Structure 1
Amino acid sequence: MAGRWRSWYTPAAALLAAAEVLLIVLGTHAGFPRLLVWAPAVGGVMLAVAAFRGAAGAFGSPGIDNDLRTFWARLSVAMGVVLVAAISQTVDVSTMPYTGLPPVGPRTLTCYVIATILGSTALLRLPGGGSSWRQLTTAVLDVAVVAVTGAIAASEYLGWFVHSFKLSASAWWLSVAIMAIAGVGAVVIVKIMAARRSPVPRAALWWLAPIGLAGPLSTVLMTMLEPWPHLNGSAAVLPFVGLFGVLAARAQQRGAGTPGARVLDLSSYRRGTAIPLVATGLVSVLVATVFLRTGHLGAVQVTGTTCLLLLVVARQTVTLAENGTLLDTVAHQAMHDELTGLHSRRYFTAALTEATDTHTVLLIDLKDFRAVNDGLGPAVGDALLIAYGRRLRALAGEGAVVARLGGDEFGLLVPGAADLSSRVLAANAEPLDAAGHEVLVEVSIGIATSAGTAGPSRGGVPAGVGLPGAGISAGSGLLAGVALHPTGCGRGSAYLYRQAEIALREAASGAGDRVVRYDASLEQRLSQRATIAADLRRALGAGEFHLLYQPIVRLPHGTVAGVESLIRWTPADGRTVSPADFIPVAEDTGLIVELGAWIIDTVCAQAAQWLRRHGQDALRSIAVNVSARQLLDPNLPEVVASALARHGVPANRLTIEITETAVFAGGRALTTVQALSQLGVNLALDDFGTGHSSLGLLRTCPVNAIKVDKSFVDGLGGTPQQEAIAIAVHGIAERMGLYTVAEGVETAAQARRLHELGYRHAQGFHFAPPLPAAGIDALLEENSRLAA
């Protein structure tokens, strides 16, 4: 059963290593039992085994996690065998005579060799990324370079070892075990430097690398500690084997949330190139040292150095070829989108600048993509982007540049003056398959035409100069800004792109399928929107907003049952700004959140006055419209609850009106609606039947009322087909326990027919226009007189 990582492993391992150092230092001045130095040694290795098991236990899901779990599980087995070897060596020290060479029995050496083989296997089987023939050849050459370097060093080490301990069976096998352990360190280093996409954090591999130096270092310490038989080179290094193992496992734990990179790792190429350079440098130093000490070089040194040079030349030749491939890969990645395979923004803008003939530009943004991504998950969102990119490529045809410009934005550069807007619109009648989900998308198309010369001018100023920045708001529509430009010079193309963005922004302000053609009036409208945005915040602080209230009446008599609040803006100069002009701007700038909070507070304050003045039963509800942007604000339920409590208004007297589109995709907006419902306020679906109408929405969204759109009321008194939806909506609502309100009633005939169909609440100019609070007071007083 897999272990668990404990935070105290690291300080405990560090403490054992420090204790071993202290014992070694004290042992050179005073004697003590031989087994004392082995306590930290065995304890440190035990901690490494537990840490490796803890690292393995942190992974259990399919894919890359399986590789990590298997790797750390194998290392824990290898370190477990090291633990057995350490215990076995402790027994050797206590039972075998000391003859100059520290006591090491065949059983102990066998365990060390087995541990080495297991550790090497775990490292070699760790996925390293890269499977092309060049990468495989490079890996083989790297191993060969390290092997030759190690062989040259091993020949010198073996001579020193035999000279120091004399040649005996035990000494021979000890040297084999030590060189095998050193080989593990070499394997680790090769793995670190050659791996492109290792799932194990690189820091963990670097902490494992020094473990391979434990064997050679222990023999050096054996010679240094020979005057003190109670000290031992193996015991001195084993606590550090445990410490480095624990630190490696700790690095894995810290990097568990972000396993090895799955994209091209450019730094790995630099690290891989360093392998032959480091090997050549080390061998050069070694050969120079041997020559200076002995005055000649042996056959091993000469042959090994020659082989090493040939391998390095081969390695660098492959590297040059691989670097060429790398440059091609980098260039492709810079000019293409990783997800969809389409061209990137950089390529698109470069192609637009270099175009010399008549061409058409389309800028496209997916409508409600954020809702799809949040509601169905990022995997479906990615699949939708891929599918839509494929559709655009098919629509554009040969010779066109199709690019993903970022997020859910796309761009098309089409030769000639062809307008693809109708084809884009028609294609959206077919759903896209996004990871098993059939998704329909809508488009709005903005068209901007430039004719004659690059950067057409008005009064000497090229088109587009001095325009306010027109950032494209994500998720505001599947939008296409189209621009035509016949000459294609660089500056003209920049203006062209800007004109397309202006058309795109205007298209974003509407809903459903729209076609907007670029002209000078768009710039004027954009400038007007910028002015409104600048004035909005000042107007809110200056008290320039006020509310009107339109009655909701009971049929057939027309007595007031409730009111709907409607915001109006009258600046200091006395002119009136239409809500159709400033509400979209408030949405874009985010000021709708602050403005909406003011509306809610003002409505609650007014409701409190009416309820005190006319009684608690005077009004069934006071309605407030809440936008899609407000529903994305997690603080909205708290804003509503605070306003109700501050003014003492019962929650069931407040109705929050929302649109179908705002909550259709679920996600954060639906979560906010559910939180509002838990407060006890009423919820109404406004303009029902005109947005993303879905009967399933009536089950998932906790609404109390349905407001039938005016377009269906207008059909009353006509053919049965014209009345069908109004009849059906009332029947469904009645069976679901919801009350209905018919909007936009303008004639007595419409009111009469609604009552005949079963409707009991209506709203419209036939009954009353939006009124100030005093007007509602008068109607409520009249209600009281009629009731009396």
Structure 2
Amino acid sequence: MATESRTPIRYVAAATLVTLLGALWFVTRPGPDAIGYVFMPAAGVPSVLAVRALLRRLPSDPVARRFWRLVLTGTAVLSLGYLILAGQAFAAMPELPTISLPAAILAAGGMLTALGAVARVPLGAGPADRRKRLIDRTIGFVGGGTLLWSFGLAPMITSSSGWSTQALVLVALSLVLGLGAVTKVSYIVGGPVDRAAIRLVASSSLTAVGVALLSLSGSDDNTLLAQAVVMPTAHILVALAAHRQWNSPGARRRRSGTWLPYIALFAVDVALLSVLHNGLTWSDRVVVLAAVALTGLVAVRQLMSARENGRLLRAQRASEERLRHEVTHDGLTGLANRGLFRTRVTEALEAGDTTVLLVDLDDFKTVNDSLGHDVGDQLLIAVAAALGEAVGPDGLPVRLAGDEFAVLLTGGADGEEVARRVLDRFAEPMSEHRLLAHASIGIATARAGDGLDPLLCHADVAMYAAKQRGKGNWVRYHDGMEQPVLAHAQIGGELRRALDAGEFRVHYQPLMDLATGRVVGVEPLVRWEHPTRGLVPPGEFVPAAEGTGLIVPLGRFVLRESCRQAAAWLAEFGPACMQKLGPNVSVRQLHDPDFVADVRAALADTGLPADRLVLELTESAVLRGPQVSRTLHELHEMGVRLALDDFGTGESSLSLLRSFPASIIKLDKSFVDGIELDEMGTPEAEARQAVARAVIQLAGALGLDTVAEGIENQEQADRLMRLGYTLGQGYHLARPMPAEAMTRLLAARAGLAVAA
């Protein structure tokens, strides 16, 4: 293939070598003068071979093949005519030959055929444009023809050198046809034949200009110079044209003919000035000078208009490029957008195996809610820049929407390696606020010809699987991976239906006084009574509710139902039966702008006193920025109490107590498990006791109530009481139960109190 791609340039080199040998012969002049006539047909051999090789390789476009077949025929016939002239030169030695009629006919026929190929190339324009271009070409032809007549043909015709009629006709034909071909080439805007190749073929005939200029002296040396050096350059130009077409990148439309009318005006002015120089009356000279000045002024004015039009066209092209960029790129980050991404992925799938990465930022909504959308936008811009740096030349980074990004890999880049680079880059602080961006990445690969949507669906499934593994992970898709995701999506749909159908129930786990066993409060816990599956554990549906956002309406239901039930218990058993109603509140609920209004409405509609409601929150929920902090303070000002759940497991438990309006802290179950084993002297039990002791002392110093969670046996309860704990929860004390069972428990405790 490498040798084949260099074939035309070899023929160019061969034609050039023949011409250089002709120049060397002309300088040294070994042998008879007839040798000078050999170089023209000799240079035609590589020229013909170059076009012949091109035709074997050329695609089956009828316009291109017709053009090059005519060029091949014309070059071969022209070379044959000059081969006959070379034979005549050797026969006429030592005199220089006069071109015979057969040789002149062949030469003229070759030129007519080659230039006919140029004439038959379509202009690539409509009828109106063709008419305007015909006028422009006529202007160029007249201007150039005037110059050639003044300095070429007229001196040849009027010279005393004795040119034969055949030679004069041949040179005149070359000049006229060559000029016509050049003016046409200037107006071809594009097509299957390379414009530069057409220009080279058309220009080859203008070697006749050199022949005409050399002939003016009438010397034999100039005639031999024309035959040995000037005329063989026509074959170099044809071979170069074949080489250009061979390596043509394809049809490109360009502006054409811009300068030709101005060159024509300049040519006419030069011819007029030459007439003025040769001698006229003073009045004729004034007319000629005025004509030259007028055409010059018209040319300058037209040039100014052309420059202004060019400026307007450049501005229009820049505007179009800007609009195209805006249509295909994201306005905030400057990355490619979803439309361009889908187009490029489709093109990549048609070409071969394609890999995409879907990159979804974790907890980006928290940044917007806590720091504001301006900070969020700055982070997105920084993330886009970091993504581009991490991907580098291996792919196309894209912003799909919101905090969703993607990467189309190119050049066989490794998806896992790119994902690692992205996560490593994201681990560095970004934007002026020095924020860290965690991301989950799904990787999927499709084979050539596969569909776009399945590929993106697989990448989305892998990205969701990465999210399930925790923040800052990547997962590559494999067959069957969509089953858990589909099940999760199905649970989401079922949750919506279950909410509408009223399938959720609230169970209550009592909060007990450790010393007396008296019920102090309850913690509402949601349960799903599925019509076919029975009681669905919270671990199966609560994460799906969190992921789909249904935790907000579900939490609203639990809040209102538990407030209604607690108010009913207070009305039935008196104010002493229920001091604390402690529903759990999720992060999504705290971010809901209607959450405070929901709490206020639940209290107002059910009549439950605000101080009996204790909202239980985890440390991760509290640490969510100014918006969440404002919400919690509004609730506190309403009289609603706040409990810090799972206390001691986070990183900022102590600092939270300084800014968070907590009334209760709940010791996490992890510090209760095994606390009764201290007599065995295990380091684990001693550590648990140390934490439990520190929490009760800290709560006492701050005036907070404490609750120990997860009490599984009496020994744990006894140990906690010795440490100072008075309230607790756990299966040992009471399991979660439906409202009816809780009512019976409260009734029984109320009966015992009356009996006592």
Q: TM-score range by the shorter chain?
A: 0.5 to 0.7
| Paired residues for 1:562-577 under 5 Å | 562-573=521-532, 575-577=534-536
Contact 1:600 1:643 in 2 (8 A): yes
Give the distance between the partners of 1:630 and 1:418, measured in 2 at CA. Answer: 37
CA distance in 1, matches of 2:556, 2:506: 13
Partner of 1:765: 731
Q: Which of 600, 612, 620 lines up with 2:571 in the alignment? A: 612
2:739 partner amino acid? A
1:315 aligned to 2:308?
A: yes
Question: In structure 2, do the counterparts of structure 1 residues 745 and 357 end up closer, same or farther at CA, with 3 Å as the change threshold?
Answer: farther
Query: What does 1:27-42 correspond to in 2, within 5 Å?
Result: none
Change (3 A) 1:305 1:758: farther
Q: May I ask how many residue pairs the two structures share in their alignment? A: 450
Match among 352, 358, 362 for residue 345 of structure 2: 352
Aligned to 1:479: 440
Q: Aligned AA for 1:317?
A: G
Aligned partner of 1:701 among 660, 673, 680: 660
1:545 corresponding residue in structure 2: 504
RMSD: 3.7
Give the superposition deviation at 1:621: 0.3
The offset of 1:567, in angstroms, is 0.9
| 1:499 maps to 2:496 | no
CA deviation after TM superposition for structure 1 residue 564, in Å: 0.5
Equivalent residue for 2:706, pick from 740, 743, 746: 740
Please give the per-residue CA displacement for 1:329-361, whole angstroms capped at 9, x wherever unaligned.
444444444443444333433443315565543
Amino acid paired to 1:423? R
Is the 1:552–1:560 Cα contact (8 Å) retained in structure 2?
yes
Kept in 1: contact 2:615–2:643 (CA 8 A): yes
Q: 2-side partners of 1:366 and 1:682: how far apart?
A: 34
Q: 2:615 aligned to 647, 656, 660, which one?
A: 656
Question: Structure 2 unaligned runs (5+)?
Answer: 1-294, 678-682
Kindly indicate whether residue 741 of structure 2 is the aligned counterpart of residue 775 of structure 1: yes
Q: Which amino acid aligns with 1:618?
A: C
- Paired with 1:397 and 1:724, the residues of 2 have a C-alpha distance of 52
What does the per-residue CA deviation read over 1:529-587, in whole Å, with 9 as the maximum and x for residues that have no partner? 44434443443344322111112223355443211001111123362223233334444
Q: What do the CA deviations read for 1:446-473 (whole angstroms, capped 9, x no partner)? A: xxxxxxxxxxxxxxxxxxxxxxxxxxxx
| Cα distance in 2 for residues equivalent to 1:396 and 1:714 | 48
Partner SS state of residue 388, structure 1: helix
Question: Which among 349, 357, 381 is matched to residue 376 of structure 2?
Answer: 381
Is the Cα contact below 8 Å between 1:607 and 1:622 reproduced in 2? yes
Q: Which residue of 2 aligns with 1:637?
A: 596
TM-fit CA distance, 1:732 = 4.2
- What secondary structure is seen at the aligned counterpart in 2 of 1:625? coil
**Identity level (%):** 41
Change (3 A) 1:375 1:399: same
Q: Deviations over 1:363-419 (max 9, x none)?
A: 122222122123223332233223333443444454233222222112233444442
Q: Is the 8 A contact 2:559 2:602 kept in 1?
A: yes
Deviation at 1:421, TM superposition (A): 8.7
Q: For the structure 1 residues 526 and 724, does the alpha-carbon distance in structure 2 shift closer, same or farther, using more than 3 Å as the test?
A: same
CA spacing shift, 1:373–1:568, aligned 2, 3 Å: same
- Partner amino acid for 1:320? L
How many angstroms apart in 2 are the aligned matches of 1:515 and 1:688?
31
Give the Cα–Cα distance (whole angstroms) in 2 for the partners of residues 742 and 512 of structure 1: 30
Correspondence 1:102-181 to 2 at 5 A: none
Does the 8 Å contact 2:706/2:725 carry over to 1? yes
Q: Is the 8 A contact 1:664 1:692 kept in 2?
A: no
Partner of 1:400: 395
Write the letter of the residue equivalent to 2:509: Q
Distance 1:676 1:622 in 2: 15
Alignment of 1:315-334 (within 5 A): 315-334=308-327
How far residue 657 of structure 1 moved from its aligned partner, in angstroms, is: 2.0
Change in Cα spacing, 1:425 to 1:684, as seen in structure 2 (3 Å) is farther
Whether the aligned pair in 2 keeps the contact of 1:742 and 1:763 (CA below 8 Å) is yes
Name the structure 2 match of 1:19: none
Distance 2:584 2:418 in 1: 34
Q: Is the 8 A contact 2:519 2:578 kept in 1?
A: yes
Q: What SS is found at the alignment partner of 1:617?
A: helix
For the residues of structure 2 that align with 1:402 and 1:660, how far apart are their CA atoms?
Answer: 36
CA gap 1:744/1:534 in 2 versus in 1, 3 angstroms: same
User: Measured at CA, do residues 542 and 323 of structure 1 come closer, stay the same or move farther in structure 2, by a change above 3 Å?
Assistant: closer
**Taking structure 2 as the reference length, what is the TM-score of the superposition?**
0.52
Q: Which moved more, 1:653-662 or 1:727-736?
A: 727-736
Q: Summarize deviations over 1:734-788 as a string: whole Å, max 9, x none.
A: 4333323333333444434444444333222232221122333344455553793
CA contact (8 A) 2:672 2:709 kept: yes
Distance 1:627 1:571 in 2: 23
Q: Report the CA distance shift for 1:610/1:335 in structure 2 as closer, same or farther (over 3 A).
A: same
Q: Counterpart amino acid of 1:439?
A: L
Alpha-carbon offset, residue 498 of structure 1: 0.9
Contact 1:507 1:515 in 2 (8 A): yes
Contact 1:358 1:417 (C-alpha < 8 Å) held by counterparts = no
Paired AA for residue 427 in structure 1: D
In the aligned structure 1, how far is the partner of 2:431 from the partner of 2:739? 50
| Consecutive unaligned residues in structure 1, runs of 5 or more | 1-301, 443-477
Structure showing greater Rg: 2
Kept in 1: contact 2:429–2:435 (CA 8 A) = yes
Task: Say which SS state the counterpart of residue 576 (structure 2) adopts.
Answer: coil
Distance 1:732 1:480, change over 3 A: farther
CA 1:617–1:516: 2 relative to 1, 3 Å: farther
The answer to whether the aligner puts 1:412 opposite 2:407 as a matched pair is yes
1:438 lines up with 2:438 in the alignment: no
Q: Is the Cα–Cα contact under 8 Å of residues 360 and 484 in structure 1 kept in the other structure?
A: yes
Contact 2:356 2:443 in 1 (8 A): yes
**Which whole-Å CA distance do the structure 2 matches of 1:776 and 1:742 have between them?**
21
Please say if residues 363 and 500 of structure 1, whose CA atoms lie closer than 8 Å, have aligned partners that are also in contact: yes
- The aligned residue for residue 369 of structure 1 is 364
What is the identity, as a one-letter code, of the residue corresponding to 2:315? E
Contact 2:441/2:475 (8 A) holds in 1: no
Tell me the secondary structure at the aligned position of residue 634 of structure 1.
Answer: coil
Structure 2 vs 1, CA of residues 482 and 650 (structure 1 numbering), >3 Å: closer, same or farther? Answer: same
CA distance in 2, matches of 1:600, 1:765: 23
| 2: CA distance, partners of 1:729 / 1:303 | 99
Instruction: Answer with 593-602 or 352-361: which moved more.
Output: 352-361
Change (3 A) 1:580 1:510: farther
Are the counterparts in 2 of residues 387 and 434 from structure 1 also a CA contact under 8 Å?
Answer: yes
Q: In the TM superposition, what is the alpha-carbon distance from 1:608 to its structure 2 partner? A: 1.9
Q: Deviations over 1:591-648 (max 9, x none)?
A: 4443333322221221123223332122220111222333333333333223323332
Letter in 2 for 1:368: D
- Cα offset, 1:480, TM superposition: 1.7
Distance 1:409 1:601, change over 3 A: same
TM-score, normalised with respect to structure 1: 0.51
Closer/same/farther in 2, CA of residues 512 and 699 from structure 1, 3 Å limit: farther
SS in 2 for 1:570: strand
Report the CA distance shift for 1:521/1:561 in structure 2 as closer, same or farther (over 3 A).
Answer: farther
* Residues in 1 aligned to 2:749 and 2:429: alpha-carbon distance in whole angstroms: 55
Alignment check: 8 A CA contact 1:562 1:620 kept: yes
Distance 1:339 1:544, change over 3 A: closer
Contact 2:419–2:474 (Cα < 8 Å) also in 1: no
Inter-partner Cα distance in structure 2 for 1:723 and 1:409: 46
Does structure 1 retain, via aligned residues, the 8 Å contact 2:335–2:397? yes
